[in-house]
Chain A
């Protein structure tokens, strides 16, 4: 396996984007990534598109985007791993370069969720579990699946709705400093606590929004990377795992087994001590589709002991200056969660963090030169942990 570097990254403005079509939205990120790498579309040998769709009109997004962005006839495919489709795109592109099949490959993610009305989107995401045994008769929603975890976690460990809201407050704060985030305003704990329930005990402000957005990263072999950039960021390890589709098949609802396994696999490959991962990492982007998800991520990743993740939130240890800064982009919660683009956007964000080129106030101090992305698909149906290093 060859070493693989990230040589260019781009992210579109996230949010409600009726001003652009799906391929136009993709181009925003693709162009930024090409400019960042000082490459042209024709230099991209292959591309992988993370897109879940259903809510949007194009059934073959990879070819539509490839045509618009001038990436044809390079080989392109779409990949699906629910909300972790972006990470699976990065992983597939990584394998293409690592194996020697190609030298320059683009991974991108794009999603236009607002092509459908909100109840239809709620329906589509609610069906993303085990359709017949969870949705057909019981109408679970995506917040509902995470709410089942929140109830179990809060009952077992005594975390409160205010602890969950601490995550929302932090991520809205950093989102307000990220011009590409969907939400540009900080919120207070009271505003979060007063927001209406969407799936008790989760409220509107515990939830990531419906988002249109795109992200792109260009991966290159070591030989090519050294020719085109002075600041390559290396993909050091990717760990992946799956959980059962039907939540009732799981023993425990206070964490995500797939995320724990993905982290262990990534830590092993990266040479990180799983008992003290924060000693190796400057910054992390974790999958906060709901506030409870970020708290479980702290534990699944080993940033906190089991049952103590909510204390990191309560003690504000995941702001800059704390034990480990998490979601300085605003996270899914405030930056937005365009399903298939999210994982790619995490890698783009961490690349810029490691290069120390993000906006003032949300740049992590870079001392160890390593960063972690944790991207979960569904409710722990898929999990990817990606370690980047300078």
Chain B
């Protein structure tokens, strides 16, 4: 069962394959990666060196959040000293400077505040159909940003939304999203 990671690499490679082939041919023929911009006639040097970025982000201090995801649960934190609630969960409370937090599961229903449909997508999301991103107000008092699995024409401010945690269809890693509450 492949996930998005390998599929995305293949997708991006495929999108650039023709350009890379042409660049290689150009260098083989002329000895230089230089061409004339068809729009303006300006001379352009196409970078011979490619930089691929993939970051490693520490989730060590929010390990409980990761453990929750693996059980298809979403956790937030509450400061044991002052009661401040955090989503995204954070291990430190800047309000009272305590790092003693309690992990609690987020409620499953909230109200839609606002939303958009991403029509022009970033390169690493270009394999998706247009997707809806919303911000939902939760009863705990914080908001959650996530995809909304719904026809955008049916959405209204204040609409009741159900939180879902699970493997995202098509990408196959565990994350969270909303769908209209039944």
Chain A residues within CB distance 8 Å of chain B:
16, 18-19, 57, 119-120, 122-123, 126-127, 130-135, 137-141, 143-144, 147-152, 155-156, 196-202, 246-250, 253
With A and B bound together, what is the CA distance between A246 and B145 in angstroms? 9
How many whole Å from A216's CB to the nearest CB in chain B?
23
Q: Which residues of B contact A140 (CB under 8 A)?
A: 118, 133, 145
- Taking a contact as CB atoms under 8 Å apart, the answer to whether B88 and A18 are in contact is no
| From B87, B113, B117, B135, contact of A199 by CB (8 A) | B117
Contacts known (A139-B128, A144-B133, A199-B119); A152 close to B37, Cβ less than 8 A: no
Q: Indicate with 1 or 0, residue by residue over B23-63, a CB within 8 angstroms of chain A CB atoms.
A: 00000000000000101101010010000000001000000
- Taking a contact as CB atoms under 8 Å apart, the answer to whether A197 and B119 are in contact is yes
> What residue in chain B is nearest A120 (Cβ atoms)?
B123
Interface majority SS (helix, strand, loop, mixed), chain B:
mixed
> What residue in chain B is nearest A20 (Cβ atoms)?
B42
- Taking a contact as CB atoms under 8 Å apart, the answer to whether A200 and B135 are in contact is no
With A and B bound together, what is the CA distance between A330 and B175 in angstroms? 42
- Taking a contact as CB atoms under 8 Å apart, the answer to whether A141 and B40 are in contact is no
How many whole Å from B88's CB to the nearest CB in chain A?
5
> What residue in chain A is nearest B47 (Cβ atoms)?
A57
- Taking a contact as CB atoms under 8 Å apart, the answer to whether B118 and A144 are in contact is yes
Contacts known (A123-B124, A199-B119); A138 close to B133, Cβ less than 8 A: yes
Most buried by A among B47, B122, B126: B122
Chain B residues bordering chain A, tally (CB within 8 A): 37
> What residue in chain B is nearest A149 (Cβ atoms)?
B114
- Taking a contact as CB atoms under 8 Å apart, the answer to whether A151 and B114 are in contact is yes
A-B pairs with beta carbons under 8 Å apart, 19 shown: A119-B122, A132-B88, A133-B145, A134-B145, A135-B122, A139-B122, A139-B131, A141-B120, A141-B122, A144-B118, A148-B116, A151-B115, A197-B119, A199-B118, A199-B119, A200-B119, A248-B142, A250-B143, A253-B135
Contacts known (A123-B122, A139-B125); A148 close to B114, Cβ less than 8 A: yes
Q: Does B94 sit at the interface, judged by CB under 8 A?
A: no
Q: Which residues of B contact A246 (CB under 8 A)?
A: 88, 145
Q: Does B106 sit at the interface, judged by CB under 8 A?
A: no
Q: Does B121 sit at the interface, judged by CB under 8 A?
A: yes
10 nearest CB pairs, A to B: A147-B116, A139-B125, A123-B122, A119-B123, A18-B42, A200-B117, A152-B114, A248-B143, A19-B42, A248-B145
How many whole Å from B107's CB to the nearest CB in chain A?
15
Q: Which residues of A contact B122 (CB under 8 A)?
A: 119, 122-123, 126-127, 135, 139, 141
> How many contacts A-B (CB < 8 Å)?
109
How many whole Å from A285's CB to the nearest CB in chain B?
27
Contacts known (A119-B122, A141-B120); A253 close to B113, Cβ less than 8 A: yes
> What residue in chain A is nearest B15 (Cβ atoms)?
A119
How many whole Å from A185's CB to the nearest CB in chain B?
17
With A and B bound together, what is the CA distance between A335 and B130 in angstroms? 29
With A and B bound together, what is the CA distance between A138 and B135 in angstroms? 11
| From B40, B88, B123, B152, contact of A19 by CB (8 A) | B40
Q: Which residues of B contact A119 (CB under 8 A)?
A: 121-123, 126
- Excluding A16-B40, A132-B57, A141-B121, 9 further A-B contacts by CB distance (< 8 Å) are A18-B42, A122-B122, A138-B146, A139-B121, A139-B128, A143-B120, A147-B117, A151-B115, A199-B117
With A and B bound together, what is the CA distance between A377 and B42 in angstroms? 31
- Taking a contact as CB atoms under 8 Å apart, the answer to whether B145 and A199 are in contact is no
Q: Which residues of A contact B126 (CB under 8 A)?
A: 119
How many whole Å from A120's CB to the nearest CB in chain B?
6
With A and B bound together, what is the CA distance between A248 and B42 in angstroms? 44
Q: Does B164 sit at the interface, judged by CB under 8 A?
A: no
> What residue in chain A is nearest B128 (Cβ atoms)?
A139
- Taking a contact as CB atoms under 8 Å apart, the answer to whether B121 and A122 are in contact is yes
Q: Which residues of B contact A135 (CB under 8 A)?
A: 122
With A and B bound together, what is the CA distance between A132 and B59 in angstroms? 10
